[in-house]
Amino acid sequence: MFRTKRSGLVRRLWRSRLIPDKEGEDGIGKTGEKQELKSATYALLKRLKEKALDTLLEAVESRGGMPSDCVMVSRTELRFGGHVASPQLLVCKLYRWSDLQHSAQLKPLCECRSFGAPDSPTVCCNPYHYSRLCGPESPPPPYSRLSPNEEHKPLDASMSPDAPKQSHWCNVAYWEHRTRVGRLYTVYEHSVSIFYDLPQGTGFCLGQLNLEHRSSTVQRTRGKIGYGILLSKEPDGVWAYNRSEHPIFVNSPTLDVPNSRTLVVRKVMPGYSIKVFDYERSFLLRHTTEADLLDGPYDPNSVRISFAKGWGPCYSRQFITSCPCWLEILLNNHR
């Protein structure tokens, strides 16, 4: 009976994959490669106990909308397509990004047991405990190339769940065009979810903020926020993970090109993450703010994030106050 249930879970997980059976749709078009993928997948799933299979299936079927535990497995690599693939690469390729090529493109979320543990004999293979790193744009700021060693440092003592509660590290303001909606949301924990509709979600729920006479544009954009973002304070800076199904757009002093009048607004696709504020670089930068770029609230220690709509030189909206729904992250570390 138990073997039958376990086999059923494995079959459901295989059917839930992103990569289709039809050839030529995903860059894995050869029948032999499909068979290798299936063999590698079954080899990985056979390592998991029934409880771990249940956890993995719940994460996959909810598309990360439900809180889920880590699914730990031996770090032993699997052979696929003439190469070896890590367990986390295989599951993320199966269930999230079929074009994923390297584990270095992945970043464990700060709540995952694999965060800050690159040398552990086990690794989490829950695909929704990972984000995909944004690559540098062209032309990139000279300081935008990220060091892998910096990205995966373990959480320091102030971020440990057992550490005494510290003072808040940021406040979050939600804006619709030029109107701030609701009060400032104060963040004490090392990470916070900011969302419109997240099953069993805790954090800053934008869907509960009421405002009379919302325009149809704002209403449509609010509907695109969905699972929103995960904002986390990590040893190397503040990171934003886009959990929604639409792009987010980000600007901060440490993303701007030094001594340039050009405002840099980064587009972050669904499932991707970006370091939105670098503490060390913020000390080094002598950021000069041009008066004609300022429109509405601005703070040199702040990050601005717009949901679904971009702004700046590459967009019809020149200022963020023209965006229907946006956030202002007011960092407390320099105050």
- pLDDT at residue 272, as a whole number: 97
- pLDDT at residue 146, as a whole number: 32
- pLDDT at residue 280, as a whole number: 83
Q: Which regions of the chain carry the CATH code 2.60.200.10?
A: 170-331
Q: What is the pLDDT of residues 109-133, one digit of tens each?
A: 999 999 988 888 999 999 999 999 9
Place of tokens 């890590």: 86
Class of domain 5-18+31-133: alpha beta
Q: Are 86 and 48 in contact (CB under 8 A)?
A: no
Task: State the helix-helix crossing angle for 87-95 and 31-45, rounded to 10 degrees.
Answer: 120
- pLDDT at residue 230, as a whole number: 96
Report the topology of domain 170-331: Tumour Suppressor Smad4 (2.60.200)
- pLDDT at residue 207, as a whole number: 93
d(C-alpha 251, C-alpha 162), whole Å: 33
Report residues of the chain scoring pLDDT below 50: 1-2, 21-27, 138-155, 157-164, 287-288, 335
